[in-house]
Structure 1
Amino acid sequence: MQLETNSRPTPIDDIIENFSLLDDWDDRYRYVIELGRKLTPFPDEQRTDANKVEGCVSQVWLATTIEHRDGRPVLIFAGDSDAHIVRGLVAILIALLSGRPAAEISGENPLALFERLGLGAHLTPQRSNGFRSMVSRMRADATAVLAEAR
Protein backbone atom coordinates (compact mmCIF):
# COMPACT_ATOMS: atom_id res chain seq x y z
CA MET A 1 0.00 0.00 0.00
CA GLN A 2 1.31 3.44 -0.92
CA LEU A 3 1.00 5.99 1.87
CA GLU A 4 -0.18 9.47 0.96
CA THR A 5 2.04 12.41 1.72
CA ASN A 6 0.15 15.68 1.62
CA SER A 7 2.91 17.98 2.82
CA ARG A 8 6.66 18.00 2.75
CA PRO A 9 8.24 17.14 6.07
CA THR A 10 10.70 19.56 7.58
CA PRO A 11 14.16 18.67 6.20
CA ILE A 12 16.55 17.30 8.81
CA ASP A 13 19.08 20.10 8.19
CA ASP A 14 16.37 22.66 9.02
CA ILE A 15 15.48 20.78 12.20
CA ILE A 16 19.13 20.74 13.32
CA GLU A 17 19.52 24.45 12.56
CA ASN A 18 16.28 25.36 14.33
CA PHE A 19 17.34 23.40 17.41
CA SER A 20 20.61 25.34 17.51
CA LEU A 21 18.67 28.63 17.49
CA LEU A 22 16.52 27.65 20.47
CA ASP A 23 18.33 28.07 23.78
CA ASP A 24 15.44 27.34 26.12
CA TRP A 25 14.29 23.73 26.52
CA ASP A 26 10.66 24.77 26.79
CA ASP A 27 11.00 26.27 23.30
CA ARG A 28 12.69 23.10 22.05
CA TYR A 29 9.88 20.94 23.46
CA ARG A 30 7.33 23.17 21.73
CA TYR A 31 9.30 22.82 18.50
CA VAL A 32 9.37 19.02 18.77
CA ILE A 33 5.60 19.04 19.35
CA GLU A 34 5.14 21.32 16.33
CA LEU A 35 7.17 18.92 14.17
CA GLY A 36 4.80 16.17 15.22
CA ARG A 37 1.79 18.27 14.29
CA LYS A 38 3.21 18.68 10.78
CA LEU A 39 3.37 14.94 10.16
CA THR A 40 1.18 13.66 7.39
CA PRO A 41 -1.98 12.20 8.94
CA PHE A 42 -1.48 8.50 9.59
CA PRO A 43 -4.30 6.36 8.16
CA ASP A 44 -6.41 4.49 10.71
CA GLU A 45 -6.05 1.27 8.70
CA GLN A 46 -2.28 1.47 9.30
CA ARG A 47 -2.73 1.41 13.10
CA THR A 48 -2.15 -2.32 13.23
CA ASP A 49 -0.20 -4.60 15.53
CA ALA A 50 2.26 -5.18 12.69
CA ASN A 51 3.01 -1.44 12.51
CA LYS A 52 3.12 -0.93 16.26
CA VAL A 53 6.59 -0.30 17.66
CA GLU A 54 7.41 -2.55 20.60
CA GLY A 55 9.36 -1.07 23.49
CA CYS A 56 7.60 2.29 23.57
CA VAL A 57 5.54 3.35 26.59
CA SER A 58 3.38 5.48 24.29
CA GLN A 59 1.63 3.93 21.35
CA VAL A 60 3.78 4.36 18.25
CA TRP A 61 3.12 3.12 14.74
CA LEU A 62 5.57 3.04 11.84
CA ALA A 63 4.64 1.95 8.34
CA THR A 64 7.26 1.32 5.69
CA THR A 65 6.80 1.52 1.94
CA ILE A 66 9.52 0.36 -0.43
CA GLU A 67 10.25 2.09 -3.71
CA HIS A 68 12.96 1.20 -6.18
CA ARG A 69 15.11 4.03 -7.51
CA ASP A 70 18.10 3.41 -9.74
CA GLY A 71 17.85 -0.28 -8.89
CA ARG A 72 18.14 0.35 -5.14
CA PRO A 73 15.42 -0.15 -2.55
CA VAL A 74 14.42 3.13 -0.92
CA LEU A 75 12.34 3.17 2.26
CA ILE A 76 9.55 5.65 2.84
CA PHE A 77 8.41 5.86 6.45
CA ALA A 78 5.16 7.17 7.87
CA GLY A 79 4.36 7.20 11.54
CA ASP A 80 2.30 8.45 14.43
CA SER A 81 2.04 8.35 18.21
CA ASP A 82 -0.61 9.07 20.78
CA ALA A 83 1.86 11.30 22.70
CA HIS A 84 2.74 14.78 21.39
CA ILE A 85 6.47 14.72 22.15
CA VAL A 86 6.86 11.18 20.84
CA ARG A 87 5.03 12.16 17.65
CA GLY A 88 7.66 14.89 17.27
CA LEU A 89 10.42 12.32 17.73
CA VAL A 90 8.78 10.24 14.99
CA ALA A 91 8.87 13.34 12.77
CA ILE A 92 12.60 13.81 13.43
CA LEU A 93 13.35 10.20 12.52
CA ILE A 94 11.23 10.41 9.38
CA ALA A 95 13.07 13.59 8.37
CA LEU A 96 16.40 11.82 8.88
CA LEU A 97 15.67 8.42 7.33
CA SER A 98 12.64 8.46 5.03
CA GLY A 99 13.33 8.52 1.31
CA ARG A 100 16.82 7.08 1.68
CA PRO A 101 18.23 3.83 0.30
CA ALA A 102 18.03 0.88 2.67
CA ALA A 103 21.83 0.55 2.73
CA GLU A 104 22.19 4.14 3.97
CA ILE A 105 19.56 3.65 6.66
CA SER A 106 21.39 0.59 7.97
CA GLY A 107 24.58 2.64 8.27
CA GLU A 108 23.01 5.80 9.74
CA ASN A 109 23.35 6.59 13.45
CA PRO A 110 20.15 8.39 14.54
CA LEU A 111 21.20 8.02 18.18
CA ALA A 112 24.14 10.37 17.51
CA LEU A 113 21.69 12.98 16.21
CA PHE A 114 19.48 12.36 19.26
CA GLU A 115 22.43 13.20 21.51
CA ARG A 116 23.62 16.09 19.31
CA LEU A 117 20.21 17.74 19.69
CA GLY A 118 20.45 17.24 23.46
CA LEU A 119 17.36 15.08 23.55
CA GLY A 120 18.99 12.30 25.56
CA ALA A 121 19.69 14.63 28.46
CA HIS A 122 16.26 16.28 28.43
CA LEU A 123 13.80 13.47 27.86
CA THR A 124 12.64 10.84 30.30
CA PRO A 125 14.41 7.48 30.14
CA GLN A 126 11.16 5.94 28.85
CA ARG A 127 11.02 8.37 25.91
CA SER A 128 14.72 7.81 25.19
CA ASN A 129 14.13 4.05 25.18
CA GLY A 130 11.15 4.55 22.90
CA PHE A 131 13.31 6.55 20.49
CA ARG A 132 15.82 3.69 20.47
CA SER A 133 12.99 1.23 19.77
CA MET A 134 11.84 3.33 16.80
CA VAL A 135 15.41 3.44 15.45
CA SER A 136 15.73 -0.33 15.86
CA ARG A 137 12.49 -0.88 13.98
CA MET A 138 13.52 1.37 11.08
CA ARG A 139 16.94 -0.30 10.85
CA ALA A 140 15.33 -3.75 11.00
CA ASP A 141 13.04 -2.80 8.10
CA ALA A 142 16.06 -1.61 6.09
CA THR A 143 18.03 -4.76 6.91
CA ALA A 144 15.09 -6.96 5.91
CA VAL A 145 14.77 -5.17 2.57
CA LEU A 146 18.48 -5.61 1.91
CA ALA A 147 18.29 -9.31 2.77
CA GLU A 148 15.39 -9.77 0.33
CA ALA A 149 17.32 -8.00 -2.43
CA ARG A 150 20.17 -10.54 -2.24
Structure 2
Amino acid sequence: MSDQSVTDSRLDELAETFEFFDDWEDRYRYIIDLGKELTPLDDAEKVPEYKVEGCVSQVWLLVAEDAERPGALQFRGDSDAHIVKGLVAVLLTLFNGRTPQEILEFDARGALDRLDLAGHLSPSRSNGLFSMVRRIRALAAARGGQSEPTLH
Protein backbone atom coordinates (compact mmCIF):
# COMPACT_ATOMS: atom_id res chain seq x y z
CA MET A 1 0.00 0.00 0.00
CA SER A 2 1.48 3.37 -0.96
CA ASP A 3 1.67 6.30 1.43
CA GLN A 4 -0.77 8.24 -0.76
CA SER A 5 -3.39 5.49 -0.38
CA VAL A 6 -2.94 5.64 3.40
CA THR A 7 -3.80 9.31 3.31
CA ASP A 8 -6.62 8.68 0.87
CA SER A 9 -8.01 6.06 3.24
CA ARG A 10 -7.93 8.67 6.04
CA LEU A 11 -9.79 11.10 3.82
CA ASP A 12 -12.21 8.35 2.78
CA GLU A 13 -12.88 7.54 6.42
CA LEU A 14 -13.47 11.18 7.34
CA ALA A 15 -15.75 11.68 4.34
CA GLU A 16 -17.75 8.55 5.15
CA THR A 17 -18.13 9.66 8.76
CA PHE A 18 -19.29 13.11 7.65
CA GLU A 19 -21.81 11.52 5.27
CA PHE A 20 -23.15 9.41 8.13
CA PHE A 21 -24.51 12.54 9.82
CA ASP A 22 -27.78 13.91 8.48
CA ASP A 23 -27.02 17.59 8.95
CA TRP A 24 -24.19 20.00 9.54
CA GLU A 25 -25.11 20.57 13.17
CA ASP A 26 -24.25 16.91 13.84
CA ARG A 27 -21.07 17.25 11.77
CA TYR A 28 -20.03 20.29 13.80
CA ARG A 29 -20.54 18.29 17.00
CA TYR A 30 -18.39 15.52 15.56
CA ILE A 31 -15.65 18.01 14.62
CA ILE A 32 -15.76 19.48 18.14
CA ASP A 33 -15.49 15.96 19.59
CA LEU A 34 -12.40 15.32 17.42
CA GLY A 35 -10.85 18.45 18.90
CA LYS A 36 -11.56 17.26 22.44
CA GLU A 37 -9.45 14.16 21.70
CA LEU A 38 -6.34 16.25 20.97
CA THR A 39 -3.74 16.48 23.70
CA PRO A 40 -3.69 20.16 24.71
CA LEU A 41 -0.46 22.05 24.23
CA ASP A 42 1.37 23.29 27.31
CA ASP A 43 1.25 27.02 27.94
CA ALA A 44 4.99 27.10 27.16
CA GLU A 45 4.15 25.88 23.63
CA LYS A 46 1.53 28.59 23.05
CA VAL A 47 4.08 31.14 21.92
CA PRO A 48 4.19 33.43 18.87
CA GLU A 49 6.68 31.13 17.12
CA TYR A 50 4.01 28.42 16.85
CA LYS A 51 0.98 30.66 16.33
CA VAL A 52 -0.86 30.47 13.02
CA GLU A 53 -1.32 33.89 11.47
CA GLY A 54 -4.57 34.56 9.62
CA CYS A 55 -6.89 32.88 12.13
CA VAL A 56 -9.44 34.86 14.12
CA SER A 57 -9.15 32.32 16.94
CA GLN A 58 -5.78 31.57 18.44
CA VAL A 59 -4.20 28.49 16.83
CA TRP A 60 -0.80 26.94 17.43
CA LEU A 61 0.86 24.24 15.32
CA LEU A 62 4.09 22.41 16.09
CA VAL A 63 5.96 19.82 14.06
CA ALA A 64 8.42 17.08 14.94
CA GLU A 65 9.87 14.00 13.31
CA ASP A 66 7.46 11.05 13.31
CA ALA A 67 8.86 8.42 15.70
CA GLU A 68 7.16 5.60 13.79
CA ARG A 69 8.08 6.57 10.24
CA PRO A 70 11.56 7.99 9.61
CA GLY A 71 11.44 11.07 7.38
CA ALA A 72 7.76 11.69 8.11
CA LEU A 73 6.34 14.48 10.22
CA GLN A 74 4.03 14.54 13.21
CA PHE A 75 2.04 17.70 13.92
CA ARG A 76 0.47 18.80 17.16
CA GLY A 77 -1.94 21.67 17.53
CA ASP A 78 -4.36 23.50 19.74
CA SER A 79 -6.84 26.36 19.65
CA ASP A 80 -8.80 28.47 22.08
CA ALA A 81 -12.05 27.81 20.13
CA HIS A 82 -13.76 24.39 20.21
CA ILE A 83 -14.75 24.21 16.53
CA VAL A 84 -11.31 25.43 15.43
CA LYS A 85 -9.60 22.86 17.65
CA GLY A 86 -11.74 20.27 15.85
CA LEU A 87 -10.61 21.63 12.49
CA VAL A 88 -7.02 21.28 13.71
CA ALA A 89 -7.81 17.63 14.50
CA VAL A 90 -9.19 17.11 10.97
CA LEU A 91 -6.02 18.54 9.44
CA LEU A 92 -3.78 16.46 11.70
CA THR A 93 -5.69 13.37 10.59
CA LEU A 94 -4.94 14.25 6.97
CA PHE A 95 -1.29 15.32 7.36
CA ASN A 96 0.32 13.40 10.24
CA GLY A 97 2.72 10.63 9.31
CA ARG A 98 3.52 12.02 5.87
CA THR A 99 6.88 13.13 4.52
CA PRO A 100 7.42 16.79 3.66
CA GLN A 101 7.19 15.93 -0.05
CA GLU A 102 3.92 14.04 0.44
CA ILE A 103 2.49 16.98 2.38
CA LEU A 104 3.47 19.43 -0.35
CA GLU A 105 1.99 17.18 -3.05
CA PHE A 106 -1.25 16.50 -1.15
CA ASP A 107 -4.30 18.22 -2.65
CA ALA A 108 -5.49 19.86 0.57
CA ARG A 109 -8.05 22.05 -1.16
CA GLY A 110 -9.53 19.01 -2.92
CA ALA A 111 -9.65 17.09 0.38
CA LEU A 112 -11.37 19.95 2.19
CA ASP A 113 -13.77 20.40 -0.74
CA ARG A 114 -14.61 16.69 -0.53
CA LEU A 115 -15.43 17.16 3.16
CA ASP A 116 -17.40 20.30 2.18
CA LEU A 117 -15.87 22.16 5.11
CA ALA A 118 -15.18 25.53 3.52
CA GLY A 119 -18.77 25.70 2.25
CA HIS A 120 -20.16 25.31 5.76
CA LEU A 121 -17.81 27.55 7.70
CA SER A 122 -18.01 31.29 8.10
CA PRO A 123 -15.69 33.18 5.74
CA SER A 124 -13.31 33.99 8.62
CA ARG A 125 -13.20 30.33 9.78
CA SER A 126 -12.69 29.17 6.20
CA ASN A 127 -9.79 31.62 5.81
CA GLY A 128 -8.39 30.39 9.11
CA LEU A 129 -8.63 26.77 7.94
CA PHE A 130 -6.59 27.55 4.84
CA SER A 131 -4.13 29.55 6.97
CA MET A 132 -3.58 26.38 9.01
CA VAL A 133 -3.00 24.39 5.80
CA ARG A 134 -0.50 26.99 4.60
CA ARG A 135 1.31 26.80 7.96
CA ILE A 136 1.48 22.98 7.79
CA ARG A 137 2.83 23.20 4.24
CA ALA A 138 5.37 25.87 5.25
CA LEU A 139 6.58 23.70 8.15
CA ALA A 140 6.84 20.71 5.80
CA ALA A 141 8.72 22.77 3.21
CA ALA A 142 11.16 23.99 5.87
CA ARG A 143 11.73 20.43 7.09
CA GLY A 144 12.16 19.18 3.55
CA GLY A 145 14.51 21.96 2.50
CA GLN A 146 12.12 23.11 -0.23
CA SER A 147 10.26 26.25 -1.10
CA GLU A 148 6.56 26.07 -0.47
CA PRO A 149 4.44 25.74 -3.62
CA THR A 150 1.09 27.48 -3.86
CA LEU A 151 -1.87 25.88 -2.11
CA HIS A 152 -3.86 23.53 -4.26
- With the shorter chain as reference, the TM-score category is 0.7 to 0.9
- The answer to whether 1:17 aligns with 2:16 is yes
Deviations 1:89-141, CA, capped at 9 Å, x for gaps: 10000000011111100111222121111111110000000011000000011
Tell me the C-alpha RMSD between the 2 structures.
Answer: 1.8
Deviations 1:56-104, CA, capped at 9 Å, x for gaps: 000000011124777x521110000111111011000000001111110
Q: Compute the TM-score of the two structures, normalised by the length of structure 2.
A: 0.83
Matched residue, 1:114: 112
Q: Compute the TM-score of the two structures, normalised by the length of structure 1.
A: 0.84
Corresponding pairs, count:
137
Matched residue, 2:138: 140
Q: Distance in 2 between matches of 1:56 and 1:41?
A: 18
Q: Distance in 2 between matches of 1:13 and 1:99?
A: 16
Structure 2: unaligned runs, 5 residues or longer: 1-9, 147-152
Matched residue, 2:44: 45
- The code of the aligned residue for 1:48 comes to V
Q: Distance in 2 between matches of 1:22 and 1:100?
A: 28
Percent identical across equivalent pairs?
Answer: 49
Out of 71, 74, 77, which is 1:76 matched to? 74
Query: How far off is 1:36 after superposition?
Result: 0.5
- The code of the aligned residue for 1:86 comes to V
Matched residue, 2:35: 36
Out of 90, 97, 101, which is 2:99 matched to? 101
